[in-house]
Structure 1
Amino acid sequence: MNPIQRIPLEGLFNTRDLGGIETMDGYRVRPRRLIRSGQLYHMTENDKKVLSDEYGLKSIVDFRTLDEQAEKPDPHIEGATHISNPILQTMTAGITHDEASEKMTLEEATLAMKENGVDPSFYMQKLYEDIITSDYSLKQYAQFFRILAGQEEGATLWHCSAGKDRVGMGTAMLLYTLDVDMDTIIDDYMMTAAFLKDEVELILKRLSAAITDPGQIESLRICMGVKKNYIKRVFQIMEETSGSIRQFLKDRIGLSESLADTLKALYLE
């Protein structure tokens, strides 16, 4: 049974150590080395201490846009280096739980969906398709893997805003490269829904004061969530584009056999 558990932090709800996840050939991801997360803005001083002292955090890879980073910068954590690595050049509605952008992006997007008869699940899947076919985004994911390959000790934490879409896709590609089975990859991706459930409901409760249309609220809920078909579609596009997932990762993201072997040597035991 592959353990998928969040790190019990005070101000962060979707931060988890990938340690312990099993590969198909009997190895396990080393604990306290690979951490996925949502934004760090609300972390407490105790959270900083946990990540620094207990997890040996050395690098923070920020997948958010430059505007997102400027609006809610990562707190300083002793001993950790912040690395800006935006997966998108500009903010896109549907991929964030950031309160400052909810009304500006998600509400406008869901209203436009309703007016144009667009299903919000289809809209979200299209966002994933756009990311995995974007030369810019693929270049940024390639940089992420090079960062991981150079991290010989301590933990690397990567995050976006909610920790569900940009981080979800990057983590899925990483686990696939480490030879984790597809069911476990999807289970890890879907755990975001459980970890963020209370936060999403709190946000929707606040927004419901200004949005009285139940249909729009439901669309917002969908845009703040994850579905299996989103990440499955990403892998399907890889196969359609390059003949196999492995070949796509090699051709489009630079995950050569040599780089994959380096990642396995660093992060598996």
Structure 2
Amino acid sequence: MDDGTRWIELDGAVNARDLGGLPTTDGRTTRRGRVLRSDNLQDLTVADVRLLLDDYGLKNVIDLRSDAEVRLEGPGPLARVPSVTVHQLSLFPEGGRHTDVAADTADTVDADRALPWQERSSDGPEQDRSLGLYLGYLTDRGDSIIAALRVMTRTDGSSLVHCAAGKDRTGVVCALALDVAGVTREAIVGDYAQSGERLEAVLRRLRASDTYAADLDSRPAGSHRPNAALMEKVLARVDEEFGGTIGWLSDHGWTPDDTEALRSRLLT
């Protein structure tokens, strides 16, 4: 990792970074090398795997993709490393015989859910469709979010959370974890928006995949850019409806011990 940034330079992934170095409201910072985030991992090279294992002590991968995405894209080379545990924790509602997404089949993925487009209108009350999808992760898969955050508390090395682009599902889960840790809202939103710096590279990778290419090619690239205001809206809605992230988590089985474990793990 470049000491001047939190980016992790890999040959087989382009949106990988460390959640360390972020400021908290009480003047602390998040630890480096504890929780990493990334886009899809199936193209990691041997050198990439060695870097993650040797430099970051990677032990746990939190894969937020649906069953169909994993089946079509592959689990990636880290699934073949005995010292690494892959936790598949889809954020889509269960439905159907083959996949976590009711609209998916054995041969297709609902890319409109997997890669939300932020400038599209919605028939619902949400100001944009992505806000509804982001909040849907909380409504539909609180179990997966709780499990993902609990993996982050493990003390046996670092954890890496990812989805397809490393922006939407990964962005929401990371934002919730950072909020529990007490990271400032400005830094949480900034981390989410930082994926925009690698957007073109992310889109090139996804266009090379039959799983996502058709949907990507049908829409302008700019509409996929992470908008800081969107994450602000998500966190504000959680504040308004649940009294904050810990309030929402508590409603889904999260405990004060979980909060203490996550903070101890993530903070200096």
C-alpha distance in 1 between matches for 2:135 and 2:60: 28
Q: Which residue of 132, 156, 161 corresponds with 2:159?
A: 156
Structure of larger gyration radius: 1
Q: In the TM superposition, what are the counterparts of 1:31-70 in structure 2 within 5 Å?
A: 31-70=32-71
Aligned residue identity for 2:132? K
What stretches of structure 1 of length at least 5 have no aligned partner? 94-99
SS in 1 for 2:128: helix
Q: Indicate the residue corresponding to 1:186 in structure 2.
A: 189
Report the equivalent of 1:96: none
The question of whether the paired residues in 2 share the 8 Å contact of 1:132 and 1:234 is answered with: no
> Alpha carbons of 1:69 and 1:206: their partners in 2 closer, same or farther (altered >3 Å)?
closer
Structure 2: distance between partners of 1:204 and 1:82: 25
Q: Which runs of 5+ in 2 are unaligned?
A: 95-99
2:64/2:163 contact within 8 Å kept: yes
- Judged with a 3 Å threshold, the aligned counterparts in structure 2 of structure 1 residues 44 and 129 are, in CA distance, closer, same or farther, namely same
Name the CA distance, whole Å, in 1 between partners of 2:231 and 2:41. Answer: 24
Give the match for residue 97 of structure 1. none
Counterpart CA distance in 1 for 2:91 and 2:132 is 16
Is residue 163–residue 170 contact of structure 2 (8 Å, CA) maintained in 1?
Answer: yes
Matched residues in 1 for 2:63 and 2:43: separation?
15
Aligned with residue 131 of structure 1, among 109, 131, 137: 137
Poorly superposed stretches of 4+, deviation over 6 Å: 204-207
Q: Does 2:143 correspond to 1:144?
A: no
Q: Is the 8 Å Cα contact of residues 29 and 268 (structure 1) preserved in structure 2?
A: yes
Tell me: CA distance 1:206–1:133, structure 2 relative to 1, closer, same or farther (3 Å): closer
1:24 aligns with: 25
**CA spacing shift, 1:42–1:241, aligned 2, 3 Å:** same
Alpha-carbon distance in 1 for matches of 2:179, 2:33: 19
1:167 has 2:174 as partner: no
Distance 1:158 1:205, change over 3 A: closer
Q: Which has the higher helix share?
A: 1
Q: 1:171, CA displacement in angstroms?
A: 0.2
Cα distance between partner residues in 2 of 1:22 and 1:122? 29
Q: Which residue of 2 aligns with 1:196?
A: 199
The number of residues matched between the two structures is: 245
Q: Secondary structure at the match of 1:133?
A: helix
TM-score, normalized by length of structure 2?
Answer: 0.78
Show CA shifts across 1:204-237 (max 9, x none).
7999xx99xx9x532x642x33212322222122
CA contact (8 A) 1:204 1:217 kept: no
Distance 1:155 1:148, change over 3 A: same
The match for 2:75 is 73
User: 2:227 aligns to what?
Assistant: 227
SS in 1 for 2:13: coil
- CA separation of 1:168/1:206 partners in 2, compared to 1, >3 Å: closer, same or farther? closer
Which residue of 2 is the match for residue 12 of structure 1?
13
